[in-house]
Amino acid sequence: MKLTILGSYSATPHVDKAPTAQLLEIRGHRFLIDCGEGTQVRLRQHKVKFSHIKHIFISHLHGDHFYGLPGLISTFRLLGREAPLHIHGPKGIKEAILLLLKLADSWTNYPLHFHELDDKDSVLLYADDQVEVTTIPLKHRIYTNGFLFKELPGLRKINKIATDKHQIDISQFHKLKLGEDVEDDQGQIIANSKLTLDPSAPRSYAFCSDTAYFPELANAVQGVDVMYHESTFLEDRKDLALKTYHSTAKQAAMIAKQAQIGQLLLGHFSSRYNSLDPFLEEAKTVFENVQLASDGMVYDFE
Amino acid sequence: MKLTILGSYSATPHVDKAPTAQLLEIRGHRFLIDCGEGTQVRLRQHKVKFSHIKHIFISHLHGDHFYGLPGLISTFRLLGREAPLHIHGPKGIKEAILLLLKLADSWTNYPLHFHELDDKDSVLLYADDQVEVTTIPLKHRIYTNGFLFKELPGLRKINKIATDKHQIDISQFHKLKLGEDVEDDQGQIIANSKLTLDPSAPRSYAFCSDTAYFPELANAVQGVDVMYHESTFLEDRKDLALKTYHSTAKQAAMIAKQAQIGQLLLGHFSSRYNSLDPFLEEAKTVFENVQLASDGMVYDFE
């Protein structure tokens, strides 16, 4: 499980900082989360194979989270994509994209599936036997969701030393992985617990951008391993944060503490701050295990 | 008169090359021509004051010429712009921008004027006493215009040595600039031609992207000082150029030669070519005075 920060800043343009976009690699998936202007160039910089992206999750329809999507969809077409692309985002996203494709007379030659959202409560967006993705309803100026990515419990691991000792045939391994007991060569039943090890603990990642501070958010992200939370402002601009439905570094840390998460990543910094050190300092007064997201940063969950 | 190439490549994304966008400085105006994704970052790189841009000309609604516009419009709002912004582009551009602003619930706090185009013939887009901008109808897969920027003839220049010699009072200079004869202190009429010099020759710039080759284009750009013309392909892909309504370097040079222009700039290169030298070589077989546009290039018309 690996997270690449493609863009860590808020809306106004920077020469060397991009607006919000992240790539989450989880159990063989590559999920793109938000897609600010220039995301496709960032993907190129990180040598991401475009064809590996099958699901894109858009938190809300402000430009710094969304205006890179039309170009990326066009690029997929130019690259000859055939695999379906799933776009999960607020109601209206389909109308916008289809209008742009119509005006360009450039319909995709691959299936484009829109999954539009307008639920106020958390909903399941994607699930297979490995991973589950749900929304985290946020409080922003327009309808906005964060996303919770959860690995599902994996299969039990074969304890090779034990299976050799008990002479368990390889044909029984599938049963063992599922947690079942098996028979040895002499027809004797061996308990699963003697032959297997616990699976790796499933990990979880919460993406929360953009949002005003509201304490109930902690319930939705309770105990996650890593949470990205926006911190557009510091406490010196708490009023402005309130007015614009954004958070301060301290407020993000308060959610982290209350939810007892593992690690907090801060991002979506306002360009009014020349130094980001105060974001770290302010958050640490509340929650110790915090890092600043930065463009190009690769966070390894191992 | 100065042209800054903000992006010189065609659609697929590059780490260090941007899609089409140019900034033309002409008689105190700063005209933005096309606005591919990432143009606002390029403007920042070139330290262009955003508030100086009052007119944006969009050739057509393909993403690599247009998908930087919604973000730029949003940024103007964030920067507190109050001055009107004029957007000249194909019919449909207003619907697209207004939909994106509506979905973001981010109406501009400055007047946004759309000048939508669907004329097949050349039309006047802008004129004052200094400059004139007209469309150059092109032949592309969708409705597309190039743009012709022309300085208007300036006022005659005072010949200071002559006006001193004839003791012409400064109060008469305005008449002289307008080409009128004036009286000297003795009431004698002095011919304007004795007291003034010809104004600087007005210069012109033609922007032609994207277009298939059609010889009639030469009429529209006859005698311009500088013409930017797309050359997506070389002659080795002439068939592909025809099919996709693009031009080869040679075809661009044929227009330049036929129109007897001063200088040809080539751009909108397909990313399938690793080296651009052959574009220069191919064009030079037809028209000698040719340069390749490149990101960041500043072309000074002096």
B162 and B204 belong to one structural domain: no
Query: Pick the catalytic residue: B34, B64, B210, B295?
Result: B64
Q: Give the structural domain span for B135.
A: 2-154+200-300
Across the interface, do B78 and A37 touch by the CB < 8 Å criterion? no
Cβ atoms within 10 Å of B99's Cβ, excluding its own:
16
Which value does ipTM take for this structure? 0.90
A169 and A293 belong to one structural domain: no
Could you tell me the CATH number of the domain that includes residue A7? 3.60.15.10
Q: pLDDT under 70 in chain B at which residues?
A: none
Domain boundary among A176, A197, A218: A197
Strands A204-208, A182-183: pairing kind: unpaired
B177 and B103 belong to one structural domain: no
A150 and A161 belong to one structural domain: no
B9 and B22 belong to one structural domain: yes
B142 and B228 belong to one structural domain: yes
- Distance from the Cα of residue A94 to its chain's centroid: 21
User: In Å, how far are A171, A185, B232 from A192, measured between CA atoms?
Assistant: 15, 15, 65
* Tens-level pLDDT at each residue, chain A (302 residues): 999 999 998 877 888 889 999 999 999 999 999 999 999 999 999 999 999 999 999 999 999 999 999 999 999 999 999 999 999 999 999 999 999 999 999 999 999 999 999 999 999 999 998 999 999 999 999 999 999 999 998 889 999 999 999 999 999 999 999 999 999 888 899 999 999 999 988 999 999 999 999 999 999 999 999 999 999 999 999 999 999 999 999 999 999 999 999 999 999 999 889 899 999 999 999 999 999 999 999 999 87
Interface contacts (A, B; CB < 8 Å): 108
> Is residue B34 flagged as an active site residue?
no
Query: Which residues numbered 140-199 in A keep a CB inside 8 Å of some CB on B?
Result: 141-142
Across the interface, do B106 and A78 touch by the CB < 8 Å criterion? no
A218 and A272 belong to one structural domain: yes
Q: What is the pTM of this model?
A: 0.91
Helical residues (DSSP H) of chain A, grouped into ranges: 39-45, 63-66, 69-78, 93-103, 160-165, 173-177, 192-195, 217-220, 238-244, 249-258, 277-284
B78 and B146 belong to one structural domain: yes
Across the interface, do B100 and A142 touch by the CB < 8 Å criterion? no
Following DSSP, what letter does each residue of B2-17 receive, concatenated? EEEEEE-B-SS--SS-
B295 and B165 belong to one structural domain: no
With contact defined as beta carbons under 8 Å apart, do A203 and A241 qualify? no
Angstrom distance (rounded) from CA B25 to CA B205: 11
B72 and B150 belong to one structural domain: yes
